[in-house]
């Protein structure tokens, strides 16, 4: 099927589904909350903390419905899609609360439904259903592939792999490319070897701190249940322009498999879970990218632009909304703000605003409401002033995660440390533009300037409360909730 025809069929299917859902939503008001974020952005922790706060009555002074006592209760309820596994909420809470461990990286898609019983401002008892999906962040990288042909993707992926920053990592794959002719008859073993070396290169990019591994296809890194499938046995090739692949050639085989990956794996994932969101929160690990360096920050920005360009946003009237389901409120959030003293949060927000300026402008033009905040879904640190020769430094204190290093020491996960994370760069514009002068400046500087890298902390120790259910500390999670669903609980 040509992409145009398949797109038209999809549009019709989406419109039909939206129409059916519209009827259902009148009876059972529902918000589909999109939690968008690349790998390690903080999606799983955010969803866990949000659900914990709603169902256990978190300390949410800015979340009006809860703070004013209008929420009678919130409960987990069977999710709408039987084919999708359930978000393992209880296990993640246990890990954070009892073991003081973060949930492991997500390997498969999952879904959760929360039903909130509340009293409306006019006094009537109502319910609001919130549906949330969690997935491996790597899969998000595939969204820009949706409207790319194999040849376009191939050219881009190869150009990317030949960048100065990545060339060495891709050397074994490049050497293999030289060894065969893409126009010659297809050889399954050569295809398997290409895919293996290409995957090894993607893996190396991810392990290499400075590139953050933002290169698709995402399922090469996190295959879910597709490991070993032919849909993953392809790789980019050096191709002549203006030609069609000879029948039965390696080129033809790679193109067929890429098309299958795009149309059978990526497209349904996108359309099932992203094409009909009511509200969206985009989580970004700005601090992680700042630690990795200006190159990583720019890579992250480019990846975000590509991904956010795939979402439909904005208000378009109810008829338009039926045929083009779209998010009308989008919150951009810099996560792990507890790794900084609160005096630096404004600057963190400013950096995120700058990085997502393109998406913000587009969403604003489309009529969506937007906000940008720095948040910590689970606050792992407290603040302190540490006295140094130069006077007091606004620092944070917490249990350093095992393996973290600072001042030449490696921590074992049992040591409490006080860290002055240093100043965030003030001139983000030139940092993102690749200004040489800005690049020479360290991004964040620590007290004795001993080669900075960020400190990850273990989840916090929790106070026991009278009812034995501790609330999780957070930073601005209530503000996020108020923005995302506050108006639906009036
Ligand atoms: N201090 C602090 N660390 C956090 C917070 N949220 C996430 N983290 C850290 O970030 C890591 C990644 O968080 P996850 O929620 O697993 O990220 P994710 O977006 O689900 O990542 P994938 O599952 O790989 O896509 C955690 O293991 C923590 O180390 C937070 O609120 N505070
Ligand atoms: Mg996750």
- Ligand 1: residue whose CA is nearest its atom 12: 40
Name the 3-class secondary structure at 31.
strand
Task: Give the number of the atom of ligand 1 that is nearest the alpha carbon of residue 107.
Answer: 23
Which ligand is the nearest neighbour of the Cα of 336? 1
**pLDDT at position 479, please?**
98
Task: Give the number of the atom of ligand 1 that is nearest the alpha carbon of residue 136.
Answer: 25
Distance 30 CA to ligand 2 centre (A): 23
Distance 58 CA to ligand 1 centre (A): 20
Sign of CA dihedral 235, 237, 243, 246: negative
Distance 107 CA to ligand 2 centre (A): 8
Q: What is the pLDDT of residues 438-447, one digit of tens each?
A: 444 433 434 3
- Ligand 1: residue whose CA is nearest its atom 27: 102
Distance 266 CA to ligand 1 centre (A): 24
Task: Give the number of the atom of ligand 1 that is nearest the alpha carbon of residue 401.
Answer: 29
Mutate which of 50, 58, 99, 102 for ligand 1? The one with the most ligand atoms within 8 Å of its CB, which is: 102
**Torsion angle defined by CA atoms of residues 483, 475, 135 and 332, in that order, rounded to the nearest 10 degrees:** 50
If you compute the radius of gyration of the chain from its CA atoms, what whole number of angstroms results? 24
- What DSSP string runs through 193-251? HHHHHHHHHHHHHHHSTTTTT--S-GGGTS-GGGTT-GGG--------TT--PPTTBHH
Name the 3-class secondary structure at 366.
coil
* Ligand 1: lining residues by beta carbon, under 6 Å: 37, 39-45, 102-103, 105-106, 136-137, 335-336, 338-339, 376-378, 380, 456-457
- Ligand 1: residue whose CA is nearest its atom 11: 40
| Regions of the chain with pLDDT less than 70 | 1-11, 14-27, 209-213, 312-326, 389-390, 434-454
**pLDDT at position 440, please?**
43
In terms of Cβ atoms closer than 10 Å to its own Cβ (0-12, 13-18, 19+), residue 84 is: middle
Which ligand is the nearest neighbour of the Cα of 96? 1
**pLDDT at position 175, please?**
96
Distance 378 CA to ligand 1 centre (A): 9
Distance 221 CA to ligand 2 centre (A): 14
Predicted TM-score of the model (pTM): 0.91
Tokens, residue 170: 């891709």
Contacts of 36 (CB under 8 A, 6+ apart): 43, 140, 274, 280, 281, 282, 283, 307, 311
**pLDDT at position 320, please?**
42
Q: Give the number of C-alpha atoms closer than 13 A to the C-alpha of residue 342, restricted to the C-beta side.
A: 8
Which residue in this structure is represented by tokens 């940092």?
431
Report whether 396 contacts 381 (CB < 8 A): yes
**pLDDT at position 6, please?**
64
- Ligand 1: residue whose CA is nearest its atom 7: 42
Report whether 435 contacts 297 (CB < 8 A): no
Rounded Cα gap, residues 119 and 65, in angstroms: 8
Task: Give the number of the atom of ligand 1 that is nearest the alpha carbon of residue 134.
Answer: 20
Distance 186 CA to ligand 2 centre (A): 38
């Amino acid at each position: 099927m040509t992409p145009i025809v398949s797109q038209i069929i999809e549009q019709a299917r989406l419109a039909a589904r939206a129409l059916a859902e519209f009827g259902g939503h009148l009876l059972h008001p529902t918000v589909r909350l999109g939690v968008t974020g690349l790998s390690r952005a903080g999606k799983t922790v955010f969803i866990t903390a949000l659900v914990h706060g709603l169902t256990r009555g978190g300390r949410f002074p800015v979340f009006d419905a809860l703070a004013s006592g209008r929420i009678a209760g919130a409960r987990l309820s069977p999710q709408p899609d039987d084919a999708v596994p359930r978000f393992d909420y209880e296990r993640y809470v246990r890990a954070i609360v009892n073991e003081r461990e973060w949930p492991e990286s997500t390997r498969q898609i999952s879904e959760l439904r929360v039903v909130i019983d509340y009293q409306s401002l006019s006094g009537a008892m109502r319910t609001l259903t919130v549906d949330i999906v969690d997935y491996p962040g790597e899969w998000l990288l595939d969204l820009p592939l949706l409207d790319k042909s194999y040849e376009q993707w191939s050219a881009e992926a190869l150009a990317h792999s030949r960048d100065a920053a990545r060339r060495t990592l891709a050397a074994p794959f490049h050497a293999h490319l030289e060894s065969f002719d893409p126009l010659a008859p297809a050889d399954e073993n050569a295809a398997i070897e290409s895919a293996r070396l290409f995957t090894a290169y993607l893996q190396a990019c991810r392990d290499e701190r400075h590139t953050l591994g933002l290169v698709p296809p995402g399922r090469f890194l996190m295959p879910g249940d597709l490991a070993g499938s032919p849909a993953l046995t392809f790789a980019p090739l050096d191709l002549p322009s203006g030609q069609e692949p000879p029948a039965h050639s390696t080129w033809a085989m790679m193109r067929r498999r890429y098309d299958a990956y795009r149309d059978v794996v990526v497209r349904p994932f996108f359309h099932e879970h992203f094409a009909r969101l009511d509200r969206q929160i985009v989580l970004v690990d700005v601090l992680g990218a700042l630690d990795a360096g200006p190159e990583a920050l720019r890579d992250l920005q480019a990846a975000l632009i590509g991904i956010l360009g795939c979402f439909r946003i904005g208000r378009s009237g109810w008829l338009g909304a039926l045929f083009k389901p779209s998010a009308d409120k989008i919150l951009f959030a810099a996560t792990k703000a507890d790794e900084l003293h609160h005096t630096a949060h404004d600057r963190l927000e400013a950096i995120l605003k700058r990085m997502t300026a393109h998406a913000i402008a587009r969403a604003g033009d489309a009529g969506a409401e937007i906000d940008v905040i720095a948040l910590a879904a689970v606050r792992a640190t407290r603040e302190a002033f540490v006295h140094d020769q130069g006077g007091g430094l606004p620092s944070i204190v917490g249990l350093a995660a095992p393996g973290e290093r600072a001042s030449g020491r490696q921590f074992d996960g049992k040591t409490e440390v006080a860290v002055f994370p240093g100043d965030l760069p003030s001139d983000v514009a030139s940092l993102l533009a690749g200004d040489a002068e800005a690049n020479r400046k360290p991004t964040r500087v620590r007290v004795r300037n001993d080669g900075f890298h960020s400190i990850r902390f273990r989840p916090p120790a929790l106070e026991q409360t009278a009812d034995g259910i501790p609330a999780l500390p957070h930073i601005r999670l209530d503000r996020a909730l108020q923005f995302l669903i506050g108006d639906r609980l009036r």
